[in-house]
Amino acid sequence: MPAPEPDASIQPRRRRLAAGLLGGGLLAPWWLGGCAAFDYRAPDAPEALARVPPLQPRPRLALVLGSGGPRGYAHLGVLRVLEDAGIQPDLVVGSSVGALIGCFWASGLSAAELDALSLDGGPLTVFDPWPFADRGWIIGQRLQDFVNTRLQGRALEQLPRRVLVAATRRSDKAPVFFSRGNPGVAVRASGAVPGIVSPVGIGGVEYEDGDESLPLPVSAARAAGADWVIAVDVSVRPGATPPTASAAQRLRDQRRRARIEGEAARADFLLHPDLAYDAGPWRSYFVDARRRGEAHARERLPALLTALFAARVAG
């Protein structure tokens, strides 16, 4: 999800949001979060790949889950429909919130289990605000720990389903990919929204939100050798930017749409639920996004099954 515009009122808004989340019982006090500076150098640090190597065995069916912040809960509705239809991708590729949900699904958690998790103070509400940070008011350590705890300490390569996490190298905005190592660090890097979540250092190199380079990383699935790709775009529809939006916001939305459309064109089948422009970390929004994702996937399921059958791709 694009970062909000910086202006003189942004810090008070950040403080109000943090206070509201704290009041809802979703966060520990900010001073327990640790230091905003972060550089991960442990032996299990994920290695950033500039290119995705072909995987062996070659993936038959890849599922690509796009970025979108709270809109990503639409992914849960899509996953439920795929499960009900017996469609079983053998590779999951995710960017930002898509990486978060993709790693959980690759770990063996069902869509129903992920839905229950999301409604019980789930991963998009695990924030650790740091009001004095100058590069992001959320640290991200709590999200990293949440992911690693839920995945029972397993590395990315140890999950039952193969997974690729897309992030962005901060220095030059180039896409990078993680397929091995600590999943919490990889997911934290993939979701480090500029100006909101502090960038993540791994071995002295800083990474940020996958949305900044590949909001819908279909090209990564293709590079991995996938025969067939289903992509789920949870961004807002083209032209949905409100007329009251600033020129800078409009330009950001246009550039992001251009990045998405280039990737979406490389998918064999695209799912794009109709989601509201305004989104936030509220239970009501999570429920609505999940419902819209499921309704859209069920509407498109007959066409998807027909296409899979014609391509002779196993479910």
State which amino acid sits at residue 311. Answer: A
Instruction: Spell 286-296 as b/e; 16+ CB within 10 A means b.
Output: bebbbebbbeb
Establish whether 213 is a catalytic residue.
Answer: no
Catalytic residue among 67, 96, 190, 213: 96
Catalytic option among 209, 211, 233, 268: 209
Residue closest to 191 by CA, chosen among 170, 165, 209: 209
Surface-to-core class of residue 302, CB atoms within 10 Å of its CB (0-12 exposed, 13-18 middle, 19+ buried): exposed
Type of residue found at 9:
S
Residue closest to 96 by CA, chosen among 163, 36, 186, 181 = 186
**Tokens encoding 138:** 């959320």
**Catalytic annotation present for 209:** yes
Q: Where are the beta strands (DSSP E) in 37-182?
A: 39-40, 61-65, 91-95, 162-169, 174-178
Positions marked active-site: 96, 209
